[in-house]
A and B are shown apart, each in its own frame.
Chain A
Amino acid sequence: NAGVTQTPKFQVLKTGQSMTLQCAQDMNHNSMYWYRQDPGMGLRLIYYSASEGTTDKGEVPNGYNVSRLNKREFSLRLESAAPSQTSVYFCASSDNRHNQPQHFGDGTRLSIL
């Protein structure tokens, strides 16, 4: 049981390049999330998807787009990467039978030069 799988684990981009971060979960969860974690800080929610076909903005959505491809997969896209988007990105999922714990992937460390 892999849980939440993120790819890639590491990526270096140049300013202006585009990139899609992939996330898949095998726990049959309805809800999926994308967070970013900056040095010395907690996680901040970028986007959220309560079910296939639905997405909603979190605290810091600017500069990002998301796609809930199916129940298993939720991707995060940077259309034109900026140095301020250098961060560690985490995907999470939960069973949205209201009030369930979130389970996290191992993260993608993204550097933008």
Chain B
Amino acid sequence: GIQVEQSPPDLILQEGANSTLRCNFSDSVNNLQWFHQNPWGQLINLFYIPSGTKQNGRLSATTVATERYSLLYISSSQTTDSGVYFCAGDPYNTDKLIFGTGTRLQVFP
């Protein structure tokens, strides 16, 4: 089956730093999405981004579908950005998402 690789697996930042998270897919996917799981376990949909670039405040995401990867940029990180970031894609265009194993981000004051 399709493999979803996220890097880095862990990231520690000081408040104010910028970071880039990467998601690679072993095959083409549709419906690529980024999620944030906060320390309380809640999953929040950050971006629906099958291709192109989107921005939402300090966060932005870029997907290059032809090269099967997506990037999530976090600028001026805050402690509330801590948690696990997941990417997910739909390899069969059936709305069934395959998730990566996540990047765990810790932001310290």
* Interfacial residues, chain A to chain B (CB-CB below 8 A): 31, 33, 40-45, 48, 50, 56, 58-59, 88, 90, 94, 96, 98-104, 106-107, 109
B48 at the interface (CB under 8 A from A): yes
Of B14-22, B61-69, B70-78, B96-104, the one with at least 4 CB within 8 A of chain A: B96-104
Task: State the interface size on chain B (CB cutoff 8 A).
Answer: 23
| Total inter-chain residue pairs, C-beta < 8 Å | 57
Residue of B nearest to A104 (CB): B43
* Interfacial residues, chain B to chain A (CB-CB below 8 A): 4, 30-31, 33, 35, 41-45, 48, 50, 86, 88, 94-102
Residues of B within 8 A of A106 (CB): 41-42
Residues of B within 8 A of A90 (CB): 43
Residue of A nearest to B47 (CB): A101
Rounded to whole Å, the gap between the CB of B86 and the closest CB of chain A is: 6
Report whether A94 and B4 are in contact in the complex, using a CB–CB cutoff of 8 Å.
Answer: no
Report whether B101 and A45 are in contact in the complex, using a CB–CB cutoff of 8 Å.
Answer: no
Mostly, the B contact residues are strand
Report whether B4 and A48 are in contact in the complex, using a CB–CB cutoff of 8 Å.
Answer: no
Report whether B43 and A42 are in contact in the complex, using a CB–CB cutoff of 8 Å.
Answer: no
Tell me the bound Cα distance from A33 to B97 in angstroms: 10
Report whether A101 and B33 are in contact in the complex, using a CB–CB cutoff of 8 Å.
Answer: yes
Q: Which 9 A-B pairs have the closest CB atoms?
A: A42-B99, A101-B48, A104-B43, A43-B99, A101-B45, A42-B101, A99-B31, A42-B100, A107-B41
Report whether A44 and B43 are in contact in the complex, using a CB–CB cutoff of 8 Å.
Answer: no
Report whether A96 and B95 are in contact in the complex, using a CB–CB cutoff of 8 Å.
Answer: yes
